[in-house]
Amino acid sequence: MWSSARQIAADVRARRASAVDICREALRRINVADPPLHAFLETTESHALARAAAVDAAVAAGQPVGPLAGVPMALKDNICTRFSRTTAGSKILAQHRSPFDATVVQRIEAAGAVVVGKTNLDEFAMGSSTENSAFGPTRNPWDLERVPGGSSGGSAAAVAAGIVPLALGSDTGGSIRQPASFTGVVGLKPTYGRVSRYGLIAYGSSLDQIGPLATSVADAALLLSVIAGHDRHDSTSVDGEPIALTADTPPDVAGLRIGLPRQYFGDGLDEEVRAAVMAAVELLSQLGAQVVEVDLPHSQQNIAVYYVIAMAEASSNLARYDGVHYGHRSAAAADIFELYARSRSEALGAEVKRRIMLGTFALSSGYYDAYYLTALKARRLIQRDFTAALARCDLIACPAAPTPAFRFGEKSDDPLAMYLADVYTIAANLAGIPGLVAPCGFSRQGLPIGLQLLAAPFAENTLLRVMRAYEANTDWWARRPPHGVA
């Protein structure tokens, strides 16, 4: 298992370790640990070794290197890179090579990070299990018969298995936080606009956000501090309060108010998950936090509102994959209309087609007002619920998922059951607020359970501080899965 990303960077800067040696070790770990997991779609060996050599050369020359100097990292394969393919887990982009690097890639490499590979995901990030990837599923390192969550399942599994200490994922409705819960790592969805989306292959443009997966809260904070900030290529990005958490920040929560939403602890919540989350809240109370009950009265509408909006935006965003400009192009088409139909039919998976069709229906004439416009109005009510609740408390504590990781095939034939796997995460995307997940226990079957904390926009520092206090008083984060690097 790696030491922390902070320690790796400190060792490289002090010349106690070589970035090239660390890179080679990460590549070795991929070769050893990844075959049963299938967390990676592609390794980037030549690029990674060249980047690592450049870091070592800068250190030797006495030049400044960044806070991620020599840290091996993985990227979800819907984040564009010039040095490797970017497939979004889809056959339609199986050979796609981006002409530019995403802003987050530019920022982590400027900070000294070494990207060793691209990770698996549900096709176009549409899924909750990484079963929808066109290139095969990723398996959970805690139990190979169970899913790692989705859609950032590959990034979560790579971190959980100890292959890399840090990875980037994207979160449209829980796609960082739910896999973090299922695999026992830290996952952070930043406030909408905190991190540039330039170079992220779009699913739901008003919902998508890039964020870190890590083995510790401090490392997640470090990575967020590197990728956050305004980008001229993304007009929705802004400069928020700088991320201030460091490894030396005192784990103090005294006086903070933690809200418990009564709607998130009702029917459908696994009893082991409920017990683990409530035990975590009780520990925070013992550390000095005050627990108060809050209401999120429109929670029952979360699933319906989210999927109408997300599918409508997916329908619009995926219209660009038409077989004309780039991506898969059917060889059997007789005219332009058949080219569109055949190219998309041949190369898009069943779940993506389902979401495109439902989204197109919701946007169609005669149904726009009844579905999409109504969903936008309900979204505003959900946002107001969180504003009111967070006026009474500093953050909200709740489960990250209703159950621990489920078995392969358990929900794949029932789309609604699969969508309900995100029932506790999608509201944060609708409201645009940050959410942080870290392990808070294990089921009787040895599967991780995650605690989710939510806060007001740009209050990531509060989330990180409180979760750091919880982490400092527990050892859930120190446990290692059976299918990983020792």
Please list the pLDDT of the chain residue by residue as tens digits (486 residues): 688 999 999 999 999 999 999 999 999 999 999 999 999 999 999 999 999 999 999 999 999 999 999 999 999 999 999 999 999 999 999 999 999 999 999 999 999 999 999 999 999 999 999 999 999 999 999 999 999 999 999 999 999 999 999 999 999 999 999 999 999 999 999 999 999 999 999 999 999 999 999 999 999 999 999 999 999 999 999 998 899 887 677 778 999 999 999 999 999 999 999 999 999 999 999 999 999 999 999 999 999 999 999 999 999 999 999 988 889 999 888 889 899 899 999 999 999 999 999 999 999 989 999 999 999 999 999 999 999 999 999 999 999 999 999 999 999 888 888 998 999 999 999 999 999 999 999 999 999 999 999 999 999 999 999 999 999 999 999 999 999 997
Q: Per the domain annotation, does 9 fall within a domain?
A: yes
Q: Are 143 and 160 in contact, with CB atoms under 8 Å apart?
A: no
* 148 found inside a domain: yes
418 within domain boundaries: no
DSSP H or E segment with residue 196? none
232-242 as b/e: b if 16+ CB within 10 A: eebeebbebee
Q: Please report whether residue 483 resides in a domain.
A: no
What's residue 129's pLDDT? 98
DSSP string, 309-353: HHHHHHHHHGGG-SSSSSS---SS-SSHHHHHHHHHHHHS-HHHH
Which residues does the annotation mark as catalytic? 76, 151, 175
pLDDT at 247: 66
| 61 assigned to some structural domain | yes
Would the CA dihedral through 272, 274, 280, 282 be positive or negative? Answer: negative
Structure tokens at 126: 């549409």
pLDDT tens digits for 68-126? 999 999 999 999 999 999 999 999 999 999 999 999 999 999 999 999 999 999 999 99
Structural domains counted in the chain? 1
Task: Name 311's Cβ contacts closer than 8 Å, sequence gap at least 6.
Answer: 355, 356, 358, 359, 362
194 occurs within a structural domain = yes
Phi and psi, residue 118, nearest 5°: -110, 140
Q: Which pLDDT does position 245 carry in this prediction?
A: 83
Instruction: Supply 454's token pair.
Output: 């939510």
Residues in the chain: 486
Position 1 scores a pLDDT of: 63
Tell me: the pLDDT tens digits for 212-258? 999 999 999 999 999 999 999 999 999 988 998 876 777 789 999 99
Here the CATH number for the domain that contains residue 198 is 3.90.1300.10
Q: What is the DSSP letter of 83?
A: S
In a domain, 278, yes or no: no
The domain in which residue 71 lies consists of: 5-251+473-478
Does residue 105 contact residue 79 with C-beta atoms inside 8 Å? yes
In a domain, 432, yes or no: no
